[in-house]
């Protein structure tokens, strides 16, 4: 299995631009998580999907952030407009079907720099 696949691995953009991060979970995993990691705030859960339905989006910072999961094999996290404080590593993680307590498999992350 290829694991959780994220793209792009690195993105540098200017303030005000739209950013779209993509994630393909492991096949058969029906739970998907988006985390943001910074030195100051550590690993923050942004949103959590179960069977493509957002279960908890309380971690989404503000209306500039949106996430979708149109099908079981694809999710996007969009920031519009982006701001310098959005600079971080964004991780997508997935979990095996039927396991509310199983391990998370993380992708390699998307490092976002907003100038």
In whole angstroms, the minimum distance from the beta carbon of 81 to another protein comes to 27
Minimum CB separation of residue 20 from another protein in Å reads 20
In angstroms, the CA 51 to CA 49 distance is 6
Contact 105, 4 (CB under 8 A): yes
Instruction: Confirm if 93 and 32 have CB atoms less than 8 A apart.
Output: yes
**Considering the rule CB under 8 A, would residue 31 count as an interface residue with another protein?**
yes
Of the residues 12, 15, 43, 115, which one makes contact with another protein according to CB under 8 A: 43
| Token digits of residue 94 | 């997935």
Rg (the chain; Cα; Å): 13
Q: Which one of residues 11, 64, 96, 105 is an interface residue with another protein (CB under 8 A)?
A: 105
Kindly list the residues in this chain that would bind another protein in the complex (CB under 8 A).
Answer: 31, 33, 35, 42-43, 45, 48, 50, 55-56, 91, 93, 95, 99-109
């Amino acid at each position: 299995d290829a694991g959780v696949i994220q793209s792009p691995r690195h993105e540098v953009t200017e303030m005000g631009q739209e950013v779209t991060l993509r994630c393909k979970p492991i096949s058969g995993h029906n739970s998907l998580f988006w985390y943001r990691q910074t030195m100051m705030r550590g690993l923050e859960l942004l949103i959590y999907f179960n069977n493509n339905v957002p279960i908890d989006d309380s971690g989404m910072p503000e209306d500039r952030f949106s996430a979708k999961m149109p099908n079981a094999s694809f999710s996007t996290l969009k920031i519009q407009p982006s701001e310098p404080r959005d600079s971080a590593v964004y991780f997508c993680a997935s979990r095996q079907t039927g396991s509310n307590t199983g391990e998370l498999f993380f992708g390699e992350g998307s490092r976002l720099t907003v100038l």
